[in-house]
């Protein structure tokens, strides 16, 4: 079940936060007297995980969870709220789950008319992928408010999109906790997290119902929960935990019912593909173990998985297939039929792991 995070953001401060760490593409959200940066209209929403200002302030746990969902150098939108003295914000923030949808609301230029909105509306949405508390990162990104509080109750967001839902429509589709609808004139006054029962009709509104679901909607919470046991893990950890990691790895590499073998390039049903580590898991660092995009690949069970696993084929620095001299007969015929070109799954990020395999696993 999906909660709805209501995030008012129309003050000069919150608009500055929005364009800095959520979505820089829209001129109407820049605070007064702030120039629209050249090229901002085509920028990618969010911030790169490789940015030292972000990476250096994240815990290893949070970094690995975010890398698993967004890729190791992916773009992530960040938002945060302050831990107010009344405790409500912290209580509401505690109810956020990965996979919840967030909407940003406020008085800004109406997308439909191009004029300043008189009543305000929901103008942007995204999917929550991870929730974490981080005072240092919040202060790095946004500083502190007038009372010296950092926006340290943070959450990461994917798939930021512009929407246009006026308050009257939003209120008519939203229920209070007692089951009655909000007044048409209600204006969201503060950060809140509404339960699935309160917002069932909201998700059916055209602006939200038409959005294509993404992996974050379906798997972010599962990936977050499954990865947490492996942070700082040693090889003596339980086999059951390793199986969970393998499940998360497979979901990341094979989100659909079919996939492509990274060695031979053929497409197969999911039951004929194996999620395999390029560099053995026991030899990986903690960071490498959850760097799913680069440390692992999909191999078909019709020969490629066995050949690579036994070190009878490897991948050269630029992607060419290297074949062991000990192969002959049927095995060599398979290679000559299906592995005559470069590995389709070669990437620069995987190159160092393929090199490790050549050096330590490959049979010349």
Global pTM value: 0.61
Whether 199 is covered by a domain: the verdict is yes
Whether 230 is covered by a domain: the verdict is no
Q: What's the domain count of the chain?
A: 2
Q: What percent of the chain has pLDDT over 70?
A: 86
Whether 226 is covered by a domain: the verdict is no
pLDDT category of residue 218 using cuts at 50, 70 and 90: very low
Q: In this structure, are 206 and 92 located in the same domain?
A: yes
Asked if the model's pLDDT at residue 227 lies above 60, the reply is no
Q: In this structure, are 178 and 241 located in the same domain?
A: no
Which of 169, 187, 218 is the endpoint of a domain?
A: 218
The DSSP letter of residue 238 is: -
Whether 339 is covered by a domain: the verdict is yes
Q: In this structure, are 79 and 197 located in the same domain?
A: yes
pLDDT category of residue 103 using cuts at 50, 70 and 90: very high
Q: In this structure, are 163 and 297 located in the same domain?
A: no
Are 134 and 112 in contact by the 8 Å Cβ rule? The answer is: no
Asked if the model's pLDDT at residue 73 lies above 50, the reply is yes
pLDDT tens for each residue of 164-194: 898 999 999 999 988 888 888 888 888 999 9
pLDDT tens for each residue of 4-13: 999 999 888 8
Decide which of 186 and 217 is more confident. 186
pLDDT category of residue 112 using cuts at 50, 70 and 90: low
Whether 135 is covered by a domain: the verdict is yes
Q: In this structure, are 210 and 306 located in the same domain?
A: no
Q: In this structure, are 209 and 262 located in the same domain?
A: no
Cα atoms in the 13 Å half-sphere on the side-chain side of 248? 28
pLDDT at residue 212 in the model: 52
Decide which of 87 and 19 is more confident. 19
Q: Is 85 exposed, middle or buried (0-12, 13-18, 19+ CB in 10 A)?
A: exposed
Q: In this structure, are 200 and 340 located in the same domain?
A: no
pLDDT category of residue 114 using cuts at 50, 70 and 90: low
Whether 232 is covered by a domain: the verdict is no
Rama region for 245: left / alpha / beta (φ>0; ψ in -120 to 50; rest): alpha
Residue 291 CA to residue 284 CA, distance in Å, equals: 10
pLDDT at residue 78 in the model: 97
Are 189 and 162 in contact by the 8 Å Cβ rule? The answer is: no
pLDDT at residue 17 in the model: 92
pLDDT at residue 153 in the model: 95
Q: In this structure, are 82 and 207 located in the same domain?
A: yes
Decide which of 355 and 209 is more confident. 355
Q: In this structure, are 157 and 26 located in the same domain?
A: yes
Whether 227 is covered by a domain: the verdict is no
pLDDT category of residue 237 using cuts at 50, 70 and 90: very low
Q: In this structure, are 131 and 85 located in the same domain?
A: yes
pLDDT at residue 250 in the model: 80
Whether 59 is covered by a domain: the verdict is yes
Are 299 and 262 in contact by the 8 Å Cβ rule? The answer is: yes
Asked if the model's pLDDT at residue 258 lies above 50, the reply is yes
Please list, in sequence order, all residues whose beta carbon lies within 8 angstroms of the beta carbon of residue 6, skipping any fewer than 6 positions away: 102, 103, 105, 188, 191, 192, 193, 194
pLDDT category of residue 214 using cuts at 50, 70 and 90: very low
pLDDT at residue 99 in the model: 83
pLDDT at residue 108 in the model: 78
pLDDT category of residue 111 using cuts at 50, 70 and 90: low
Mean pLDDT of 194-203: 92
Residue 257 CA to residue 225 CA, distance in Å, equals: 23
Q: In this structure, are 72 and 119 located in the same domain?
A: yes
Bridge partners (DSSP) of residue 154 are: 80, 132
Q: In this structure, are 180 and 118 located in the same domain?
A: yes
Which of 218, 251, 279 is the endpoint of a domain?
A: 218
Decide which of 86 and 212 is more confident. 86
Q: Is 214 helix (H, G, I), strand (E, B) or coil?
A: coil
Asked if the model's pLDDT at residue 116 lies above 70, the reply is no
Asked if the model's pLDDT at residue 147 lies above 70, the reply is yes
Give the chain's mean pLDDT.
83
Structural domain boundaries, residue 67 = 4-218
């Amino acid at each position: 079940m999906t909660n709805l995070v209501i995030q008012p953001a129309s003050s000069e401060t919150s608009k500055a936060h929005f364009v800095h760490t959520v979505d820089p593409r829209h001129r109407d959200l820049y605070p007064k007297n702030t120039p629209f940066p050249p090229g901002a209209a085509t920028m990618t929403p969010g911030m790169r995980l490789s940015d030292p200002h972000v990476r250096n302030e994240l815990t290893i746990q949070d970094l690995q969870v975010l890398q698993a969902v967004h890729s190791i150098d992916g773009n992530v939108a960040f938002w945060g709220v302050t831990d107010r003295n009344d405790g409500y914000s912290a209580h509401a923030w505690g109810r956020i789950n990965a996979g919840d949808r967030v909407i940003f609301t406020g008085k800004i230029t109406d997308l439909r008319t191009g004029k300043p909105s008189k009543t305000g509306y929901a103008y942007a949405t995204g999917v929550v992928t991870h929730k974490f508390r981080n005072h240092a990162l919040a202060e790095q990104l946004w500083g502190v408010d007038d009372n010296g509080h950092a926006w340290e109750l943070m959450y990461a967001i994917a798939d930021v999109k512009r929407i246009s839902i006026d308050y009257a429509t939003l209120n008519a589709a939203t229920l209070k906790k007692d089951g009655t609808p909000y007044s048409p004139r209600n204006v969201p006054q503060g950060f809140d997290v509404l339960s699935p029962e309160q917002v069932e009709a909201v998700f059916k509104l055209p602006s939200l119902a038409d959005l294509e679901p993404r992996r974050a909607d379906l798997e972010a919470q599962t990936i977050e929960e499954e990865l947490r046991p492996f942070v700082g893990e040693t090889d003596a950890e339980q086999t059951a935990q390793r199986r969970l990691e393998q499940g998360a790895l497979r979901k990341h590499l094979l989100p659909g019912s079919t996939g492509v073998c990274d060695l031979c390039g053929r497409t197969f049903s999911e039951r004929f593909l194996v999620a395999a580590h390029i560099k053995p898991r026991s030899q990986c660092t903690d960071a490498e173990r959850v760097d799913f995009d680069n440390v692992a690949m999909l191999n078909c069970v019709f020969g490629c998985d066995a050949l690579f696993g036994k070190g009878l084929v490897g991948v050269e620095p630029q992607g060419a297939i290297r074949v062991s001299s000990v192969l002959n007969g049927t095995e060599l015929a398979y290679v000559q039929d299906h592995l005559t070109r470069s590995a389709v799954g070669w990437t620069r990020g995987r190159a160092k792991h393929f090199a490790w395999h050549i050096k330590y696993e490959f049979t010349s």
